[in-house]
């Protein structure tokens, strides 16, 4: 081939270029021989072409291919020079297409920036947890670790990614169950310090739990014997199948809970304790319901008995009373007049008890009429004042603005009388009784409050049971009658009592 050169200088220039190319080719060959180079990326006019070199450091290649992690080597401009099959799988891109792509294709802008900066430092290590994506579509959650290696004048970055997608998915799933559970769930470390608490637990305790000692923030007492129970005992395997406990929140609200506590070990085969998982089921409402049902059952039973035998006892009593009155008028019993008088009075007292007892009858008819409870209190008040005066107590009415409702006036008078009478009887020194009415969206409430010594603790759970009395000469029917009247009006009675006084709340449903 004959070439024409325009000048010697041009010839020399071309000669120099050719020598440079030859030197570069030698350098590449020198690198390929010992296996320092994995692939060649050749720039061509039609686009890049890469050549993967086989045989270089064969043992390490096999090792890299067998790894669970994805790994790749990255050029200083971010081009992927080599990767194993797992890397291609994790980034969800065909293996043959990954090499030659830029690593920045897979990173989010903020990670891209951090990674580019790391490469530019040309030394050191990089570690981050991030998401890989392609064309803005999520590929995987990974832990990315990378090291820069200086080779000659160039920097090469070795990158390893660990796929956490499945692990993160299952963690999110567990977290969702934990957060959505209606039951309080608490996880503690082996010293009993709370490390996680779900929203239900935080709502029950009413404050932050994480970082606090379980036994200190949630003091629990066994329902059966009132003994304090700690996390340790609750997690004891013989008890862990659910114990009923009591818990009183700082604001005084009491809960009945079912506690299930389990020990959490490193793994199934290892009994090395790591911590505890505690579930607390709120059974306060069920307990109240069971209590209420038992009381109603007792009341119904007594009611049935009352209806059954009340009349039968009264009839013979009427006969006896009639004869006693007759004897009273006879001359020959003049000396016994006083005793006959006492006998008649005692019979009248017995009759009164039967009348009250009869009013407990289960199916006693009531005659509800529309009206305002305030009207009944107003009409009754002078009578209550006279009663209070007799006892040396004070009484006041604090009447609220309440809507009309439907009730049996005679029955509600009886209820108020019984409650106020109990209040008067409970206070020995000059006390004060307040009758209050108020309403909210849920109920119209009638409250009778006293400044007495409170209901004795031993009878409190049984309050409302017929014939339960602590009074000499008391019949123990007053409150039973009140509960029966409330029940027949669809109302509920609640009691608050302490050494500073007692309040009975009668809550009537708001009639639409």
For binding to ligand ATP (CB under 6 A), which residues are involved?
Answer: 418, 422-423, 426, 450, 452, 455, 459, 463, 468-471, 474-480, 502
Q: How far apart are CA 285 and CA 289, in angstroms?
A: 6
Q: 192 vs 501, which CB is nearer to ligand ATP?
A: 501
Q: Is the dihedral of CA 121, 124, 129, 134 positive or negative?
A: positive
User: Helix or strand or coil: residue 389?
Assistant: helix
CB of 459 to ligand ATP, least distance (A): 6
Asked if 502 and 454 count as a contact pair (C-beta separation under 8 A), the reply is yes
| Cα atoms in the Cβ-side hemisphere of radius 13 Å centred on 211 | 2
**Interface with Mg ion: number of residues (CB under 5 A):** 2
256 binds, among ligand ATP, Mg ion, none (CB under 5 to 8 A by kind): none
Q: What's the closest the beta carbon of residue 343 comes to Mg ion, in angstroms?
A: 25
**Cβ atoms of 379 and 409 closer than 8 Å:** no
Cβ proximity to ligand ATP, 279 vs 418, nearer residue: 418
Decide: is 478 part of the binding site for Mg ion (CB under 5 A). yes
CB of 463 to Mg ion, least distance (A): 11
What is the closest distance, in whole angstroms, from the C-beta atom of residue 478 to ligand ATP in the complex?
2
Nearer to ligand ATP, 86 or 422 (CB): 422
Rg (CA), the chain: 45
CB of 294 to Mg ion, least distance (A): 21
Question: Treating both helix axes as pointing N-terminal to C-terminal, what angle do 478-488 and 409-426 enclose, rounded to 10 degrees?
Answer: 150
Q: How many helices (H) and strands (E) does the chain have?
A: 14, 21
Q: Please, what is the minimum distance in Å from the beta carbon of residue 368 to ligand ATP?
A: 24
Smallest gap from residue 262 Cβ to ligand ATP (A): 44
CA 6 – CA 11 distance, rounded (Å)? 8
Is the dihedral angle over the CA atoms 476, 478, 484, 490 positive or is it negative?
A: negative
**Closest separation in Å from C-beta 419 to ligand ATP:** 7
Sequence-distant (6+) residues with CB within 8 A of 16 are none
Contact region for Mg ion (CB under 5 A) — 71-79, 211-219, 419-427, 488-496? 419-427
Tokens, residue 455: 């209901």
Per partner kind, with CB cut-offs from 5 to 8 A, the member of Mg ion, ligand ATP, none near residue 78 is: none
Q: Which is nearer to ligand ATP, 310 or 368 (CB)?
A: 310
Q: 381 vs 260, 335, 373, 384, 404, CA distance in Å?
A: 53, 44, 12, 5, 19
Name the closest residue to ligand ATP (Cβ): 478
For Mg ion, which is the closer residue by CB, 322 or 474? 474
Token pair of 65, please?
A: 């291919």
Q: Does 466 bind Mg ion (CB under 5 A)?
A: no
Q: Which stretch binds Mg ion (CB under 5 A): 121-129, 331-339, 437-445, 476-484?
A: 476-484
Residues 6+ away with beta carbon under 8 Å from 511 = 403, 404, 405, 406
**Segment interacting with Mg ion (CB under 5 A) among 14-22, 45-53, 200-208, 474-482:** 474-482
Nearest residue to the partner Mg ion, using Cβ: 478
Point out which span in 207-215, 236-244, 394-402, 421-429 binds Mg ion (CB under 5 A).
421-429
247-251-256 Cα angle (round to 5): 25
Shorter beta-carbon distance to Mg ion: residue 478 or 501:
478
* Closer of 32 and 468 to ligand ATP (Cβ): 468
DSSP state of 53: P
Helix ranges restricted to H, 259-372:
284-329, 337-358
Nearer to ligand ATP, 119 or 455 (CB): 455
Residues 422-441 contacting Mg ion, CB under 5 A: 422
Q: To which residue do tokens 């409702």 refer? A: 405
Please identify, using beta-carbon distances, which residue of 204 and 479 lies nearer to ligand ATP. 479
Residues forming contacts to Mg ion in the complex (CB under 5 A) are 422, 478
């Amino acid at each position: 081939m004959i070439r024409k050169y325009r000048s010697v200088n041009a010839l020399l220039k071309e000669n120099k270029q050719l020598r440079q190319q030859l030197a570069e080719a030698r350098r590449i060959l020198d690198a390929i021989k010992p296996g320092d180079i994995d692939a060649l990326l050749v720039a061509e006019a039609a686009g890049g072409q890469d050549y993967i070199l086989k045989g270089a450091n064969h043992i390490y290649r096999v090792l890299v291919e067998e790894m669970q992690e994805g790994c790749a080597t990255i050029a200083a401009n971010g081009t992927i020079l080599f990767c194993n099959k797992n890397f291609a799988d994790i980034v969800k891109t065909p293996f043959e297409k990954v090499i030659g792509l830029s690593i920045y294709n897979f990173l989010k802008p903020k990670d891209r920036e951090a990674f580019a900066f790391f490469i530019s430092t040309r030394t050191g290590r990089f570690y981050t947890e991030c998401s890989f994506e392609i064309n803005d579509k999520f590929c995987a959650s990974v832990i990315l670790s990378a090291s820069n290696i200086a080779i000659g004048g160039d920097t090469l970055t070795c990158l390893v990614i660990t796929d956490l997608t499945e692990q993160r998915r299952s963690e999110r799933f567990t977290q969702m169950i934990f957060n959505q559970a209606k039951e309080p769930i608490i996880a503690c470390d082996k010293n009993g310090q709370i490390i996680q608490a779900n929203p239900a637990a935080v709502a029950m305790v009413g404050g932050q739990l994480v970082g606090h000692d379980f036994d200190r923030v949630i003091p629990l007492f066994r329902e059966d014997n009132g003994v304090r129970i700690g996390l340790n005992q609750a997690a004891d395997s013989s008890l862990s199948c659910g114990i009923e406990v009591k818990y009183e929140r700082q604001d005084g609200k009491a809960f009945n809970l079912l506690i299930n506590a389990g020990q959490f070990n490193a793994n199934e085969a290892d009994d090395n304790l790591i911590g505890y998982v505690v579930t607390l089921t709120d059974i306060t409402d069920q307990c109240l319901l069971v209590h209420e049902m038992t009381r109603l059952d007792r009341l119904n039973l007594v009611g049935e008995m009352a209806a059954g035998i009340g009349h039968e006892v009264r009839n013979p009593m009427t006969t006896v009373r009639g004869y006693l009155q007759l004897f009273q008028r006879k001359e020959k019993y003049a000396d016994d007049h006083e005793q006959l008088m006492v006998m008649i009075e005692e019979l009248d007292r017995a009759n009164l008890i039967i009348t009250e007892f009869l009013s407990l009858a289960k199916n006693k008819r009531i005659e509800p009429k529309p009206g305002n409870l305030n009207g009944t209190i107003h009409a009754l008040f002078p009578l209550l004042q006279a009663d209070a005066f007799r006892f040396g107590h004070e009484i006041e009415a604090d009447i609220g603005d309440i809507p009309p409702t439907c009730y049996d006036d005679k029955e509600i008078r009886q209820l108020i009388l019984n409650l106020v009478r109990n209040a008067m009887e409970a206070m020995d020194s000059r006390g004060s009784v307040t009758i209050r009415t108020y309403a909210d969206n849920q109920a119209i409430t009638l409250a009778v409050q006293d400044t007495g010594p409170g209901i004795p603790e031993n009878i409190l759970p049984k309050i409302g049971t017929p014939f339960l009395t602590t009074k000499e000469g008391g019949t123990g029917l007053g409150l039973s009658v009140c509960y029966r009247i409330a029940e027949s009006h669809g109302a509920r009675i609640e009691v608050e009592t302490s050494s500073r006084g007692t309040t009975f709340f009668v809550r009537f449903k708001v009639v639409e």
